[in-house]
Structures are given as structure tokens and as C-alpha cells.
Amino acid sequence: MTDFTRTHMKEAPSWWANAVVYQIYPRSFQDTNGDGMGDLPGITQRLPYLADLGVDVIWLSPVYKSPQDDNGYDISDYQDIDPMFGTLEDMDELLAEAHSLGMKVVMDLVVNHTSDEHNWFEKSKQNDPAYADWYMWADPKPGHEGGTEGAEPNAWGSYFGGSAWEWVPERGQYYFHQFSKKQPDLNWQNEDMRRAVYAMMNWWMDRGVDGFRMDVISLISKRYDDEGRLPGVPNSQLPMREAGPDGYVNPFADCSDGPRLDEFLQEMHHAVFDGRDGYLTVGEAPGISADRAAEVTALAPAAPQSRELDMLFLFDHVDINTYGPGGKWGVVEQPFKDVRPCLKKYESIVEKGGWTSLFFCNHDQPRSVSRWGDDSTDALRIRSAKALALVLHLHKGTPYIYQGEELGMTNADYTRLEQYEDLESINMYHQLVGAGVLTAEQMLAGIQRVGRDNARTPMQWDDTRYAGFEAADAECAPWLEVNANKAFVNAAAQVNDPESVHAFYKKLIALRHTSELVALGDWSVLDESDSSVYAYVRSRGDERLLVLANMSGAPAAVPAEAAALLGGGSESGVGEVVVANDPADDVRAQLSAGTLQAWTAAAVLL
């Protein structure tokens, strides 16, 4: 395979074409002061581990000052660090040390909403003329007294349960919040508010941050009628959609990918990123189609004024089979074969001139090895974790690793509701169980399967009492219980083990850094109807790399199109096994026999 360096990537869209990003959830990564919460000095302490792994970019979930109603995604001061995590000086030290080790740092940025304790909201609530319209305010329904049942401007419900409208007596109006009532939505129609956001972003970029991951950025532009009225309010030209079993209308369809989204993102790019180099912008984009993603992420060299974001997170693959009566909480099977068409859509973004993010895990999603792999035994956990890693990292795009994914960390082993901290899980438990949509047992099973705390358990560094997240004799236990499988799933046991999940990730990262075929090659899927084996080809010039994986717990035949490329018949015709979760000789034997064993995954140079 052709070796190359970033400086010679003339055909690459940017430096991130062969980069790998590592997401850190700071409160669960490393605690250095024994208060049970991870902190910035802890991240700085672990930077050599990340540099050795080979990642290029670190993405930090929010560390801004916050009341922590939604674990930091409710920001009360964009230009300060929450004392839980440290200080601005700690952040400066982290940035300097990461840069010295050759890694960039991207901060999570939440600008769809703030905390209700943000100074902007406090002034808006008091009707300060300079801030009065910075949030989405609306009058009570005519003929109703504000704050009473049925007086809300329309029937929109929050994604976290209950009404999406909160009454403020001192202002005499309701404010809109898609998420928690402590997370009021900003009014992106207001130009002064937007300028304040851009000024804050420039402040961080000038301080040394290398870009932003933008939380729910696709929700900033709402749909209004010609007179500026939201759906369902008096005299609106926009009708309300159908209410769900809880009696509320989900506002998502009228908030996602709204009519001014492109305008706002282009304006942001011009105000913050024009003239800068080496940055990364990635948007969390629920509700964005693959075709729209190609438009949003297009480099558009002939029209630089249309630049928006470098890449997006799309959620088709993590949302499959989640729309029953209980939504995502109604536990149904989510076989990996249902993920494959979603990955094909993401690859179409690149084909159309955009770029795509590749991920299975993040702070809002369950652990991939528990969701699509097999964590019933340690051997199967290791095999399936490697298989998932291989099929994801050999796609075209920018791979993201969520902390602990490189160790094969699993879902939380909790059995009681009291063990969970996630606001969404707890609120929806009471709402759906209270409404009779799901039983208590069904809802707990749903939280165990897809709840956000599955990804938030403390990082498992070693097998000590608190998994090395903090000292074993710390007075405060970690904010969230450590998974008991820390005894055998931990970094200390894997970093020097050449057969570990960790070692396998290092191989995949190194391959993306050194293989032009992996970083830039075209992508095409094979044998799409096969129920067990996922197969695709990467090609560049005369080089072709066949990737195939049996994503099931039983032996499976090598499907026809893949078998034809392999030539069939003999091990000598198989080609070079570039990377696999079985020894190369075993892989050749399996392929020549036409059968892949359970969870066998390999990339073969044809």
C-alpha cells in the first residue's frame, strides 16, 4: 500500500482526511483531586496515552461554567471553565501540552440554547431592551392565564418530557426549550445575539482552540410563517402536527434543518473561520439528510462564501428501530445489517463532494459492543469490538473514537433506576411509565439498552477500586458507578498486549495515517442483501482493498461478489491480509474455504 504524509495529500479535501478524533467526556475521564468528577488536569495527565494511541484530535465535551442540569450542555458562561473541571489556566495548559504532542483540541459548543442561569437569559427575562429578543418568547394562549394548564402558546413537548414552554411571571411570557426547562432556546433570528456568539467563538480560537463540535446545530433555525408566527399559535399559517401518546407534539420537524440554517452557518464561517488554517468544525445534525449533508459540508472552492461546516454527525444508524410506542426506549432488536444502508448513505456524502464523520459511540449513545457486538463473554467482546472497529475505520471519512471504545468498554451493569443520573432517562421513565406507555420493567430494560449513562461510566484505566479514574482511597466515590468488569476491561491490561482491542485500534489508526488508499480511496459496497457478512471495496488507481466482516455469532459463507474478487479456491489467491482480528493464515484459510467464522473481520489487498 502506498505510504504518504499529510504534506503530500494534494487530492485530500483537508488535513483531516486521514485524521482520527478521540472524544473525551471530561467528568468521566480522569479525576485528579478526589472529588468524584473528572477534570482538566486529569485530561492533561492522560495526554501521553492518547498520543501513543495515535489520535490527531481531541474533542472535549463541555467544560464551560454550568449548573450541570444536563451535564454541562447547559452553559451559564461561555468564556469560563466550570470549577468542577478546573480553571482557564488549566485549559491553557491542556492546549499547550496537547499541541506539543502533535494533537489538536476541539471544544464542544452549545449555541442552540444556554442555561437559564446565563447572564443573557437573566437580562432577557427582565426584558432588558438589549437582550429582550435573544430567546424565543411567546404570550399565553388567548383567554388563558399564563402559567395555568393549557395556556402554553402551542402544544409542543420537550424531548426531555413535559411541555416545551416555561412560564416566567416577571416577564409575563413563556420561553421555548426543546430540551430541559433550564435550557432555553436562543433566538437565532436576532442578529445581535448571533454576533455575540461569533465573538465568543473567536475568543476561544484566539486562545488556541482548534475548532468546535457544535451540539444540535441543525436545530437553530426554526420554522415561522410569513408573519413570524410559530406553528399552532393563534392565526399561524403553519398547522400543528399530531400529538404523541403523552399528549404533546414533538417540535423536531419544525426545528430541524430550518429555512435559514445555511445562511446562519455561512455567516458563522465567515465571521469566525475565514483566514484561519488547521481548524475543524463538525456539527451534530439530527434531522439532516445525506443529500443536505453533502451541501452543508461541500468545500465549494469556487464559492468560498458558501462554506459552512467540515463534517456532520448524522444519526440514521443509531436511530434504527427506535420509533415504536416507547420511542427509543421500547427495546427491539437492532441488528447490524440494518446499520449498513445508513453507512452507505454517509459514503454518498463524500461521493457528492462533501465529507462525513464515522462513529458508533458517543456520550449520548450506548456502547457499540453491547449494542451491535456480543459482550456475553470476554472472548466474544474482544472479537466483536475489533470487528466493529475494522468495518468503521476502513470507510472513507473521519473516524471518531469515544473514550473507552478503544478498550471494548461495555454498557453499564446497572439494575436499578437509582443508579442512573441521566436527566433524559429519569424524566422519560416517569413520563412513559406514568402515562402507561411502557411498564416499569420495559422502561428499565430500555434504559439499560440505550440510556446515555451507558457511555458515561468512568473510564477504566486499571482494575483498582475506582478503575484508576481516581485514587482507590479517594473520599468521594465517582459521580457514576464504575462498571464491575473493570477487573478485566481496562487500559493497564491492554496497552502492552499485542492482541488487545487497544492494540487493534492502534493498527487501524496507523493504517489511516499511512495508507492513501484508506484515507482517500473510493468506496463501493458488495453483497448488499447478505444477512451476516458486511463487505465493501476501497479503490484508488490500481489498488483495491476488500473489507469483509461476519457481523454475527455464527459461521457465514463468504458472499458471492466478495468471493469472486478473491478468486476462490486457494489461499495463494487470497492476497495480502492487511489487518484482521484473526491471524493472517487463519483468515486466508477461512476465505479459501468460503466460510468466515463468527465475528471474523479482515481487510485484504487484492
For 326-387, the DSSP string reads TBTTS-----GGGTHHHHHHHHHHHHTT---EE-S--TTS--HHHHTS--SSHHHHHHHHHH
Let me know if 284 is a catalytic residue: yes
Task: Specify the pTM.
Answer: 0.94
Question: Each residue of 445-493: pLDDT tens digit?
Answer: 999 999 999 999 999 999 999 999 999 999 999 999 999 999 999 999 9
> What does the pLDDT read at residue 71?
86
Q: Which helix (H) or strand (E) holds 207?
A: helix 191-207
| Alpha helix segments (H runs only) across 435-500 | 440-450, 491-494
Distance of CA 9 to the CA centre of its chain: 27
> What does the pLDDT read at residue 327?
83
Q: Which three cell numbers stand for residue 379?
A: 472472548
CATH ID of 119-176, from 3.40.50.300, 3.90.1150.10, 3.90.400.10, 3.30.465.10 = 3.90.400.10
Nearest-angstrom CA–CA distance, 168 and 279: 40
Query: 522-605: which CATH topology?
Result: Immunoglobulin-like (2.60.40)
Question: What is the b/e burial string over 170-179, where b = at least 16 CB atoms within 10 angstroms of the residue's CB?
Answer: eeebbbbbbb
CB-CB neighbours of 262 under 10 Å: 16
Nearest-angstrom CA–CA distance, 237 and 290: 29
> What does the pLDDT read at residue 9?
52
* Domain spanning 21-112+191-221+257-417+452-493: CATH 1.10.486.10: no
Catalytic pick among 215, 406, 422, 582: 215
pLDDT beneath 70, residues of the chain: 1-11, 300-304, 322-324, 331, 568-573
Catalytic pick among 185, 284, 406, 582: 284
Query: What is the domain partition of the chain in residue ranges?
Result: 21-112+191-221+257-417+452-493, 119-176, 522-605
Nearest-angstrom CA–CA distance, 213 and 197: 14
> What does the pLDDT read at residue 575?
86
Distances (CA, A) of 204 to 16, 228, 273: 20, 33, 12
Q: Which three cell numbers stand for residue 553?
A: 455469532
> What does the pLDDT read at residue 520?
95
